[in-house]
Amino acid sequence: MPFTLPELGYAQDALEPYIDTETMTIHHGKHHAGYVSKLNAAIEGTELENSSIEELLIHLADIDPAIRTAVQNNGGGHANHSLFWKILNPAGKTDPSKGFMSLLEKNFGSFDGFKEEFSKAAATRFGSGWAWLVKQADSSLKSYSTANQDNPLTLGDTPILGLDVWEHAYYLKYQNRRPEYIENFFSIINWEVVEANFSA
Ligand SMILES: [Fe+2]
């Protein structure tokens, strides 16, 4: 099987109280695992088995229409969650470095300007989707949301920070209180990883 479920890198209860253990267990072990197995099934026996997940999403439009939606949903699901686990920080709140802070200020006016724009993107995404901080082709930063499991790579951008706003990501603990989940997310962002994603 070309794609496998990555390890979380920390215990399932490590993000308490911001993200509860039961949600993490189901989210990683069932939802993410499901995207991986459905992605593998969709591309089985095709030349796409030799592609990286990034290549699949960048060149989504070139994929055989018969399996394109399956790759979009499940490949996106695999890539999005793989990024998500990494940018979460069980050690608690961190702050962007001085250098990255000035990048955020340059692109959003201030850190609070970024937070407001990102939070709005996350809160106003109707139904299921993701909020993103992306690096554009000219290295500028932008924040927006996508529907379902759509990944910014398909739009020509590189995702460096993402927040899952599917109900499966927060409903057990937060029910209909998505804004509270979004606010708490800012207490568990691993900015070191976000910055490494920007520099990669
Ligand atoms: Fe999810």
For residue 121, the CA-to-ligand 1 centroid distance in Å is 17
| pLDDT score recorded for residue 92 | 80
pLDDT at residue 182, rounded to an integer: 98
pLDDT at 41: 98
Q: How many angstroms does the Cα of residue 19 sit away from the middle of ligand 1?
A: 12
pLDDT confidence of residue 172? 97
> Distance from the CA of 86 to the center of ligand 1, in angstroms?
13
Residue whose token pair is 């702050």: 95
pLDDT at 1 (0 to 100): 79
Task: Assign residue 148 a region (left: φ > 0; alpha: ψ between -120 and 50; beta: otherwise).
Answer: left
Q: How remote is the CA of residue 28 from the centroid of ligand 1, in Å?
A: 8
Helix runs in the chain, H state only: 21-26, 33-43, 53-58, 65-70, 76-87, 98-108, 111-124, 171-174, 178-185, 191-199
Q: To which residue do tokens 């308490």 refer?
A: 16
Alpha-carbon gap, residue 96 to 103, rounded angstroms: 10
CA 105, distance to chain mean position in Å, is: 22
Q: What is d(CA 198, CA 67) in angstroms, rounded to the nearest whole number?
A: 31
Ligand 1 centre distance from Cα of residue 196 (Å)? 22
Q: What is the pLDDT of residue 93?
A: 82
CA of 20 from ligand 1 middle (Å) equals 14
Q: How far is CA 85 from its chain centroid? A: 8
- The predicted structure's pLDDT at residue 5: 98
Cβ-Cβ contacts under 8 Å for 36 (sequence gap 6 or more):
3, 4, 5, 74, 78
| Positions of the chain with pLDDT under 50 | none
Q: Could you tell me the pTM of the whole model?
A: 0.97
- Are the C-beta atoms of 165 and 131 separated by less than 8 Å? yes
The pLDDT of residue 31: 98
Determine the distance separating the centroid of ligand 1 and the alpha carbon of 166, expressed in angstroms: 6
How much distance in Å is there from the Cα of 132 to the middle of ligand 1? Answer: 14
* Rounded distance from Cα 129 to ligand 1 centre (Å): 9
Ligand 1 centroid to Cα of residue 108, in Å, is 27
